[in-house]
A and B are shown apart, each in its own frame.
Chain A
Amino acid sequence: QSVLTQPPSVSAAPGQKVTISCSGSTSNIGNHYVSWYQQLPGTAPKLLIYDNDKRPSGIPDRFSGSKSGTSATLGITGLQTGDEADYYCGTWDSSLSVYVFGSGTKVTVL
């Protein structure tokens, strides 16, 4: 089991919004910054959000991140078919001294 818990899947129609939750504890999300990664089918993961809510250059503002306490959330607005992918949260866990990824969430555009 992953230290960080994500819903296995979320779905919405094109143009709609989805949110993906990432639940952890004080040893990880509660005291460390969260990153989000997008993995399109058959490709390597790609950094989507870092430091909870910052977007790297080239990532559209349809993608947003937030953190509250021991949970983080990724939001995707204006959903497009090209957004169909697996999404992972990640952060450092200071109790385990390891980097941890969430269990992953598959986004489906209906």
Chain B
Amino acid sequence: EVQLVESGGGLVQPGGSLRLSCAASGFTFSNYEMNWVRQAPGKGLEWLSLIKNSGTTIYYADSVKGRFTISRDDAKNSLYLQMNSLRAEDTALYYCARSQCTSTSCFRDYWGQGTLVTVSS
């Protein structure tokens, strides 16, 4: 059974840093592209970043580019999101999601339950 479990969320002051983790199990983690997606309270989904299974290709949303860094450790079956210079508007539930890539497209087929990040003084 595919499982994605996020951790590392919490309360942080504006300008602070936080590192989120996503522990994967039930599939060969190294074979899959992985994503971070967030959802602010009462708002819609916002895709943040993806890292290809090679680890060498990475994309970011403009809203987090230069502040957030995605990484992976295939030996530990883990995905990470280093978040720096946090702002109040980064307050959200942060999900990791697996991409299933076929010859035609990549779609987010499994999601974790999320970890809550609150940025407030």
Q: Judging by beta carbons under 8 Å apart, are A2 and B44 in contact?
A: yes
Show 27 residue pairs from A and B whose CB-CB distance is below 8 angstroms, ordered by the A residue: A33-B105, A33-B107, A39-B45, A44-B112, A44-B113, A44-B114, A45-B37, A45-B45, A45-B95, A45-B97, A46-B111, A47-B109, A47-B110, A50-B107, A51-B105, A86-B44, A90-B47, A92-B105, A92-B106, A98-B47, A98-B59, A98-B61, A98-B62, A99-B35, A101-B37, A102-B44, A103-B44
Query: Which of A32, A43, A46, A88 has a CB less than 8 Å from the CB of B44?
Result: A88
Q: Which residues of B contact A51 (CB under 8 A)?
A: 102, 104-105, 107
Tell me the count of chain A residues lying within 8 A, CB to CB, of chain B: 27
Complex formed: what's the CA distance from A33 to B104 in Å? 8
Q: Judging by beta carbons under 8 Å apart, are B111 and A104 in contact?
A: no
Q: Which residues of A contact B104 (CB under 8 A)?
A: 33, 51
Q: Judging by beta carbons under 8 Å apart, are A101 and B107 in contact?
A: no
Complex formed: what's the CA distance from A32 to B102 in Å? 13
Interface residues of B in 73-121 (CB under 8 A from A): 95, 97, 100, 102, 104-114
User: Nearest-CB distance from B43 to chain A (Å)?
Assistant: 8
Residue of A nearest to B35 (CB): A99
B50 at the interface (CB under 8 A from A): yes
Q: Which residues of A contact B60 (CB under 8 A)?
A: 98
Which residues of B are at the interface with A, using a C-beta cutoff of 8 A?
Answer: 35, 37, 44-47, 50, 59-62, 95, 97, 100, 102, 104-114
Q: Apart from A33-B107, A45-B95, what are 10 other A-B pairs with CB-CB below 8 Å?
A: A43-B113, A47-B107, A47-B110, A56-B109, A90-B47, A92-B106, A98-B59, A99-B35, A101-B44, A103-B44
A95 at the interface (CB under 8 A from B): no
Residue of A nearest to B65 (CB): A98
Residue of B nearest to A2 (CB): B44
Complex formed: what's the CA distance from A47 to B50 in Å? 17
Which 5 pairs of residues, A with B, have the shortest CB-CB distance?
A33-B105, A50-B107, A104-B44, A99-B47, A35-B107
Q: Which residues of A contact B46 (CB under 8 A)?
A: 101
Complex formed: what's the CA distance from A55 to B109 in Å? 11
Q: Judging by beta carbons under 8 Å apart, are A90 and B95 in contact?
A: no
